[in-house]
Chain A
């Protein structure tokens, strides 16, 4: 379970350079050329260098690595990637692809060398299948596997069948994961199971690491933030290693509590809260705790990286954090727009009955008060009806 991570030692620069040389040689000519892509979108060299500085810092690498990060970014669009869509809504893919003004991270994501990606690949039918099989064979041990969505395991995984042969998601995922350099679980579903794993979980949906019993790098979020995927890929390319993980999530991205870095935190400490959507507090940008912000229980880097080219992110836009990067948030954090004290908990000994912790707590206090009052009245009545008894009986024991 969670542990305060200690960053690994920075990788040795000469190792990194050697690794990049090898990767460049191996994947030359594959995919798209990053420089061309940047030029075609009118992104200047200067913006690109700013972006590399940002990524280097985000990955906890010293500034001397900026050049290597730039090289790794260029390799990133060439390394073969197999992207599987399992039990999911494709929201993660959409969020990366549908940006009106893609930033550099989104651009790299969009032009990763997808050998197989059901949403955006050019080939169809037999050709698509062949492309997948070829990658599994030719790039065994070198391709990256990105899995989006949970894996249903009930009924032998028959809730999810894919492709012309009706292969189950479970078997496909197992096959692809077996030869991958690393398996990256994208979004809440692949990382923790998502809404389909919420109680009662009829399809037996499990996150990838549980369904396959392998280590994955989890990039949770609903959807995930593209920066976190690109950063993780860069880290893999630079060091050939899985980054330091907390709860299976890259520590560089997921080791800060949203609440601790929140721009509204001063209002929390001051006791200034939005009481209702659209009230004066909302206009003044007060803390969203009372309208259900789950920032205090959530670890992610939304505050620093933000979304859509750092345009904004939920808390800044005025809605509380829903805790989408945490395990079982669909069950635990509901209702999403109420504080946890109003969240439903199963009442002990009353199967199937739910109430908020506050209701349960105050009921307990109320029941105690009633019990005390009852006993007091009862004792008084007893004493009245049999006066003197307690005194006499009581004295001889002492």
Chain B
């Protein structure tokens, strides 16, 4: 008999895609901002603000990341359906389960049971790392927008204290604004590397488990064969 297992609520799926798309947008635009690779020879007076638009996309996508991240934080503890935190505690037990899953990835044997509700702990720990890196990006990103006295900063009128707090925290943590900038750059790569692993694992599960794993992120369900 095939049973339908609910894995992701509507909110989780929305957040997942908002995060995925905006992180991708941030990465590509970030590469351009760090080292503008596309040169537009000016035919005359500049009428297209290439860097200006790329930065605009970077900032808007970053704001979406912030919103998705904060709602994720909320649902992490307070989701009515299934708070993620349950996939992480009790710590000992979940750690054991994560280890079992890791072994399974390399032996292809002893597939750990599908948790219902909740995601498997290895995944959950992985997400925790990714979200921590996203948090680093938020703080360093706001820090780099350090308010100047000229107030030449679009965020300053809306959200003044966040810039100041982020700047202080990130400069205190990494030493200087330049170091903050380098950390912001590196963490972007780390997020993309982890996201690649994540995507690969979902495809791997879809192939090796034959449970329709990929459809989880679209429909919210996967299908488990039961005896």
Contacts and interface: CB of A to CB of B under 8 A. Distances in A.
Interface of A: 1-5, 246, 251, 255-257, 260-261, 266-273, 275, 280, 284, 289-290, 297, 299, 323, 326-328, 332-333, 339-343, 345, 357-358, 360-362, 364-365, 367-369, 371-372, 375-376, 378-379, 382-383, 386, 389-391, 393-398
Contact of A257 (B42, B152, B188, B192): B152
A5 B149 contact: yes
B126 interface: no
A340 B46 contact: no
Contact of B196 (A280, A372, A382): A372
Contacts of A326: 176-178
A253 B178 CA distance: 21
Contact of A256 (B110, B148, B156): B148
B11 interface: no
Given A257-B148, A341-B185, 7 more contacts: A260-B148, A280-B41, A333-B178, A357-B185, A372-B197, A375-B200, A382-B108
B176 A270 contact: no
Contact of B189 (A246, A255, A273, A361): A361
Specify the main secondary structure of chain A where it touches its partner: helix
B34 interface: yes
Contact of B150 (A261, A345, A394): A261
Interface residues of B, number: 67
A383 B34 CA distance: 43
A393 B109 contact: yes
30 contacts: A2-B146, A4-B160, A256-B152, A257-B148, A257-B150, A261-B150, A269-B55, A270-B42, A270-B49, A270-B52, A289-B36, A297-B181, A326-B176, A327-B176, A328-B175, A357-B34, A358-B35, A358-B185, A361-B188, A364-B190, A364-B193, A376-B200, A379-B108, A383-B208, A390-B208, A393-B111, A394-B209, A398-B5, A398-B114, A398-B224
Contacts of A379: 108, 204, 208
Contact of B226 (A342, A358, A395): A395
Nearest to A333: B178
A286 B108 CA distance: 57
Interface string B189-215: 110110011001000100011110000
Nearest to A251: B149
Interface stretch (B18-26, B69-77, B88-96, B164-172): B164-172
Contacts of B227: 395-396
Interface in B104-156: 105-114, 146-150, 152, 156
Given A365-B196, A398-B3, A273 B186 contact: no
Given A289-B36, A361-B185, A364-B190, A256 B149 contact: yes
A342 B48 CA distance: 27
A268 B52 CA distance: 8
Interface centre among B5, B146, B182 (most CB of A within 10 A): B182
- Identify the 3 closest CB pairs spanning chains A and B, nearest first: A271-B50, A361-B189, A270-B46
Contacts of A342: 35
Interface string B9-51: 0000000000000000000000000111011111000101111
Given A365-B192, A368-B196, A1 B46 contact: no
Contacts of B171: 1-2
Given A272-B46, A364-B193, A397 B150 contact: no
Contacts of A396: 227
A69 B143 CA distance: 37
Nearest to B184: A357
Contacts of A289: 36
A310 B112 CA distance: 73
A234 B210 CA distance: 78
Contacts of B114: 397-398
B181 A340 contact: yes
Contacts of B148: 4, 255-257, 260, 299
B40 A272 contact: yes
Contacts of B196: 365, 368-369, 372
A390 B111 contact: yes
Nearest to A395: B225
B164 A4 contact: yes
A371 B189 CA distance: 16
B179 interface: yes
A271 B39 contact: yes
Given A397-B111, A397-B112, A269 B49 contact: yes
Given A270-B52, A297-B178, A398-B3, A4 B149 contact: yes
Given A256-B148, A395-B226, A268 B51 contact: yes
Contacts of A371: 197
A289 B34 CA distance: 9
A58 to B, nearest CB: 13
Contacts of A269: 46, 49, 51-52, 55
A248 to B, nearest CB: 14
A297 B177 contact: yes
Contacts of B106: 375, 378
A339 B31 CA distance: 12
